[in-house]
Amino acid sequence: MRVPADTEQSVRAIAFVLAALLATAVPAYGNGDTCLFDSKGLASLKIGDPESKVREVFGSGYDTREHPGPMVQRRIEVRRSTSSKNLYSIALGSNGEVMFIDILRSCKNADGVGIGTTLGVAKAKYGKAKLEPTDVGYFVIFDRMPRIGFMLANTDLPTKLRDLPDDSMSEKAESAILATSKAKFSQIRIYPE
């Protein structure tokens, strides 16, 4: 049986519209329950998005809590409605836009690097890195990905290299920390441009 040409075109147009709708309906954590990130943010939430987008993306099935922050206007903590563990921490600037995103759960980029990946594996993929010590831990930033910080799990570092003051980190200590190839990433921070 032959389908009329105009019916076939209508079916194609409907299929195209449905595919476009599905593409825009991808949740922040990616497809299914897989969290995906890149240097611009999560699948449905990017650096620079307005607060209304945060509320839209994390409206159903999530709980959000706001906290004032010392370096940002406000911070929105996101967790699933059925859990007590935070998934994301989103910092809003004074203009109400997403300033940076902290990913606190299992999440990876297109290369498969993310929370749980060792520093050695990441260095093999991305090369030269530098350390950005903060009051909450050490972020590793690769020259090839300057907008993404990978926090090292403190417990994976030798005791003498843990909790060093961030304002007086020596080059020797930084080199020793960056040589701890078995240390795993425990958090990811996506920075603005």
**Helix (H) or strand (E) segment spanning residue 143:** none
**Cα 120 from Cα 180, distance rounded (Å):** 8
- pLDDT tens for residues 116-175? 999 999 999 999 999 999 888 999 999 999 999 999 999 999 999 998 887 878 999 999
Per-residue pLDDT, averaged over 16-42, amounts to 58
* Mode of pairing for the β-strands spanning 185-190 and 145-152: antiparallel
Per-residue pLDDT, averaged over 61-74, amounts to 81
- pLDDT tens for residues 33-64? 578 999 999 989 999 999 999 999 998 899 99
Q: In Å, how far are 13, 21, 29, 36 from 41, measured between CA atoms?
A: 31, 21, 10, 9
Q: Say which residue the tokens 């105009």 belong to.
A: 6
Domain segments of the chain: what residues? 37-103, 119-190
* Count of alpha carbons within 13 angstroms of residue 43, beta-carbon side: 21
